[in-house]
Chain A
Amino acid sequence: MSVDYLSRKLGRLKRAPENFVSREFATDVTTSGLSDTRRGFLRKSFLGAVAAGAGATGFTSAALAQNGPDDPAIITKQMWQTTLGQPVAVKPYGVPSIYEKYLQRRESPGLTRVSAASVAFAPLQGFFGIITPSGLHFERHHQGWYDIDPNQHRLMINGLVKKEMVFTMDDLMRLPAVSRVHFIECGANTGMEWGNVAVPTVQYTHGMLSCCEFTGVPLSLLLDMAGYDKTKAKFVLAEGNDGSGMTRTIPIETALDDVMVAWGMNGEMLRPENGYPLRLVVPGVQGVSWVKWLRRIEVGDMPYATKDEAVHYIDLMPDGQHRQYTSVQECKSVITTPSGGQQLLEAGFYNITGLAWSGRGKIKQVDVSTDGGKNWKTARLETPIQTKALTRFNMDYVWDGKQAIIQSRAIDDTGYVQPTIRQLRDVRGTRSIYHNNAIQSWKIDTNGEVSNVQVG
Chain B
Amino acid sequence: MFKLVKPALAATLLILGVSSVWAQSAEPYTGIGRAATANEVNAWNIDVRPDFKGLPKGSGTVEQGTVIWENQCASCHGSFGESNEVFTPIVGGTTKKDQETGHVLALSTNTQPQRTTLMKVATISTLYDYIYRAMPWNAPRSLTPDDTYAVLAYILNLGEIVPEDFTLSNENIAEIQNRMPNRNGMTVDHGLFMPTGKPDVQSVACMKDCVQEVVITSFLPDFARDAHGNNAEQNRNFGPARGADTLNPPLKQLPGKDYQVKVVAVVATAGAAGTGDAAKELFTKNNCAACHAANSKMVGPSIAEVATKYKGNPEAVAILVKKVKNGGAGVWGAIPMPPHPQVSDADTTIMVEWMLTGPSK
Give A residues with C-beta under 8 Å from B. 98-104, 106, 108-110, 113-117, 123, 125-126, 143-144, 156-158, 161-167, 171, 174-176, 178, 196-201, 203-204, 218, 220-221, 223-232, 237, 239, 243-245, 247, 251, 253-254, 257-258, 260, 284, 295-296, 298, 300, 302-307, 310-311, 314-328, 330, 337-338, 341-347, 350-351, 365, 367, 371-377, 401, 405, 409, 411, 416-420, 423-424, 426-428, 431, 435, 443, 445-456
Contacts and interface: CB of A to CB of B under 8 A. Distances in A.
Given A178-B2, A367-B207, A420-B203, A323 B187 contact: yes
A227 B25 contact: yes
12 contacts: A100-B236, A204-B228, A229-B21, A244-B133, A244-B140, A257-B2, A298-B47, A346-B255, A347-B254, A411-B205, A431-B110, A443-B219
Interface in B83-114: 85-87, 103-105, 107-110
A245 B21 contact: no
B51 interface: yes
Interface stretch (B35-43, B302-310, B350-358): B35-43
A231 B22 CA distance: 8
A226 B108 CA distance: 45
A234 B33 CA distance: 24
B185 A237 contact: no
A200 B201 CA distance: 26
Interface of B: 1-5, 9, 21-26, 29, 32-36, 40-41, 44-47, 49-51, 85-87, 103-105, 107-110, 115, 117, 120-123, 125-126, 129-130, 133-134, 137, 140-141, 182, 185-197, 199-211, 214-220, 224-225, 227-229, 231-237, 240-246, 250-257, 259, 261, 263, 266-268, 284, 287, 289-290
Contact of A162 (B22, B117, B242, B266): B22
B35 A163 contact: yes
Contacts of B206: 376
Contacts of A322: 107, 120, 122, 182, 185-187
Give the top 7 A-B pairs by smallest Cβ distance, nearest first: A320-B108, A372-B214, A218-B2, A341-B231, A320-B107, A307-B130, A342-B241
Nearest to A98: B266
Contacts of B103: 320
Dominant SS among interface residues on chain B: loop
A222 to B, nearest CB: 8
B187 to A, nearest CB: 5
Contact of A165 (B34, B189, B200): B34
Contacts of A411: 205
B126 A311 contact: yes
A447 B49 contact: no
A326 B194 CA distance: 9
Contacts of A327: 192-193
A302 B51 contact: yes
A293 to B, nearest CB: 13
B284 to A, nearest CB: 7
B32 A325 contact: no
B237 to A, nearest CB: 7
